[in-house]
Every structure is written in C-alpha cells, then in structure tokens.
Amino acid sequence: MRTRWVRWGTAMLALTVVVGTVLATTKHPVDVTCPVCARAFKAAEFMSTNSFGGQDRDFLGHARGEQVFLFACWTCPKCLYSGYGDDFKAGAVPDAVLKTLREDRPLKSPVAIAADLENTEDIPAWVRYDLAIQTAKVRGEKPLVLAWLTLRAGQTQRFGDAGLARIGDLATRAKALVAKLPPSPPERDDYLQATWRARRLFELAASADAGLSDPDRELARVLAAYDYARRGELPDVRRVLAVLRPEGKALEGPVALVVAELAERVDREAHYLALAAASFESALTLDLVKADERVNHRYLVGELHRRVGDPAKALAWLEPLAAEAGLDAWIATWVTEAIARAKGEPAGPPAK
Ligand SMILES: [Zn+2]
C-alpha cells in the first residue's frame, strides 16, 4: 500500500529503484525542441536512481546522489513552456493550448532567464516548477496535478548547501562537534539520522556542560539548521534561525550569509507548501482523490500546514485521523509524530 501510493505520488517521474551496489543516480543528456516555439535546448533524462536517502514525511523520497525531480522538469528558455519530458513530445500540446501560449504569452518567469541559455538545468529548479504550474493551469489540469507540481516546487528548496562552503575549516570543526554527540540511533534511515543529528546539535549548542566556544556553538546551530532544511522541517529551521539571529542583532561574516540564504529558502518553500496544501484540499473537496488514497491525502494536508507553521490548521486535519480505526501502521505513526510536532515537539527522535 505504502509503496504503491508513494510510487503514485511520483508517478510523473517514473522512478526506477535500483537495488544492489549501484547507488548513484545516473542520467543522460537529451536535445529537446520546444513544441510551442521550436527553440532547441538541452536537458537530461534519468536512467536510474535509488531510494537510499530516506523519505521526508511529506512524501519526498531522497536518493543518494542527485535527485531526479530536480532535473526532470524542463523549461524552454525562450517561451518558458514547462513540464516533464512527455510534455515536450510531438503532439503533446493540444492546439487550443498552443494558440493561447503563442498568442497570449501568459507564462511569466519569477527570475530573468538569459535569451541565449542552452541548458534548461541552468534555470533554478524552483523556477522551472513554478513555470510548470503556470503551464499546467493553461492546460486546464486538475487540482491534484497542480498540487503535486506545487509540492515539488517547494521541495526543491531542500537541496543546495553552497552557503556552508563559506564557513572556514568547516569539515574539521563539524567533525569535532559531531564527535561530541551521543552514539547515533540504530535506525539506518537517512531521514531519522538527519533529524536525530539536528536535534542533538541544537541541544549541544544550548548545553552549558559542552564547553563549546562561541563560534562552535554558532556552527552547531548552523549545522542543525541545514540538517532540518534538507528535510523540509521548516518550523525547526525557523526555531534555530531565531536563536542564531535574535531580533535586532546584526550577524557578521559568513554565518550572516548562511543564515540569510537559509531564511530565503525556508520562506520560498513555505510559500509553495501553503499553496500545495490548498490544492490538495481542493482535490479532496472535489472528490478527485481515489477512495483508498484519501487517508494519505488528508494526512498530507495536515502535515503541510504543520510545516508551513500553522499548527491549528494542521491539528484540525490530523487529530480526526488519529481517532480513526484501521489506519495502516506506518501512516498511524506519521500522524502521531505530526501531531506531536504541531504541538511543539522538535523533529527527530528524542534522546534515549
Ligand atoms: Zn518554447
């Protein structure tokens, strides 16, 4: 049930899970001709991927290595028509949609795109998804399609840690901090490992007994914020950022840039997740969700409200679910965890 539903959730990516020793995501370049304006550009299609990076609780499976969904959505650099690979095949665009796109030019990029850009991957993934949402609206797609594209737009913000490289001597200092943590739990799941480490690093920074210097205390919080951001645990990122950057206090140096970058990512992700919650809610109201997938979608609406930072709305969706009999064990666990987090419990397993 779980596998099937999650696979359905990523159906447009046609994920292939590779088991065994092949870990990395592999892809190959493709030459694309835009079906709307005939502009040629370069893109990539995936060949294989894996699910070894654990799963965020809003149904984003992480691969070890590259994430397929970050390059699977393409944008034509000229007319901005956007979608997955199949949307670019000959005949994929109905005549009426072609006419609207060519004559009304309704697609607007949230950032400037160079006219001579050759590879669609040089456009940020969140911009390509934003334009795919706009394109899907022109195509008259149903709320469920829009909801998944919007969720993916938000989830793009979990990747890209370039800012961390600005911190001097990062690897050595981070290793020394992690060495001060208690032994990690036996769970092999990367999601649990990441949130466990984030929670412990934040606790370490607050501990008077740890004997950390002020810069190392700051770094422990920065690392915690990144761990949480990689899993989209936005309330926890915001909680850590509020300690790193108290109201009215000006930060200096690389940490100031890192904090600003994370704050921007969190705000952008929250913007899309809130829109996604509304679209999934519409799909449920309009009875567009299959009967055996309604529970998962109701959970997802609550979970997205929680991530965005609206615990009251989250609980209004999650608590009735918790009272229902017959939930699959995994979703019952996720509902219980989401309720605890909506009530203020940080993400990540508690200390033993
Ligand atoms: Zn085009």
State the average pLDDT over residues 83-99: 96
Ligand 1: centre distance to CA 70 (Å) = 20
Ligand 1: centre distance to CA 45 (Å) = 18
State whether 131 and 28 are in the same domain. yes
Q: What is the domain range of residue 16?
A: 2-141
User: How large is the angle between the packed helices 329-342 and 294-308, nearest 10 degrees?
Assistant: 20
Confidence band of 350 (pLDDT split at 50, 70, 90): confident
DSSP state of 47: E
State whether 223 and 308 are in the same domain. no
Q: Is the pLDDT of residue 4 over 90?
A: no
State whether 21 and 55 are in the same domain. yes
Ligand 1: centre distance to CA 48 (Å) = 28
State whether 10 and 131 are in the same domain. yes
Ligand 1: centre distance to CA 246 (Å) = 46
State the average pLDDT over residues 317-329: 96
State the average pLDDT over residues 113-136: 97
Instruction: Count Cα atoms within 13 angstroms, Cβ side, for 243.
Output: 18
State whether 256 and 302 are in the same domain. no
State whether 180 and 245 are in the same domain. yes
Ligand 1: centre distance to CA 75 (Å) = 8
Does 225 map to a domain? yes
Q: Model's pTM, two decimal places?
A: 0.91
Ligand 1: centre distance to CA 40 (Å) = 8
Does 61 map to a domain? yes
- Give the domain-ending residue among 206, 239, 265: 265
- Give the domain-ending residue among 233, 265, 297: 265
- Cβ contacts of 59-63, under 8 Å, gap ≥ 24: 59/6, 59/9, 59/10, 59/151, 59/300, 60/155, 60/158, 60/232, 61/6, 61/10, 61/15, 62/190, 62/191, 63/25
- Give the domain-ending residue among 106, 141, 176: 141
Helix (H, G, I), strand (E, B) or coil at 268: helix
Helix (H, G, I), strand (E, B) or coil at 129: helix
State the average pLDDT over residues 87-113: 97
State whether 204 and 313 are in the same domain. no
State the average pLDDT over residues 224-242: 97
pLDDT computed for residue 305 by the predictor: 98
Does 146 map to a domain? no
Ligand 1: centre distance to CA 11 (Å) = 25
CA atoms of 263 and 284, how far apart (whole Å):
31
State whether 72 and 30 are in the same domain. yes
Does 149 map to a domain? no
Does 151 map to a domain? no
Ligand 1: centre distance to CA 145 (Å) = 21
The per-residue pLDDT for range 168-222, each reduced to its tens digit, is 899 999 999 999 999 887 777 889 999 999 999 999 999 989 999 999 999 999 9
Would you list the DSSP string of 53-85? T-B-TTS-BPPSSS-HHHHSEEE-TTT--EEEG
State whether 51 and 135 are in the same domain. yes
Look at strands 82-84 and 73-75 and give their pairing: antiparallel
State whether 106 and 172 are in the same domain. no
State whether 12 and 137 are in the same domain. yes
pLDDT computed for residue 23 by the predictor: 67
The per-residue pLDDT for range 30-49, each reduced to its tens digit, is 999 999 999 999 999 989 89
Total tally of structural domains belonging to the chain: 3
Q: Is the pLDDT of residue 19 over 50?
A: no
Q: Is the pLDDT of residue 123 over 50?
A: yes
Does 350 map to a domain? no
State the average pLDDT over residues 133-147: 97
State whether 86 and 11 are in the same domain. yes
Q: Is the pLDDT of residue 260 over 50?
A: yes
Does 152 map to a domain? no
State the average pLDDT over residues 120-135: 98
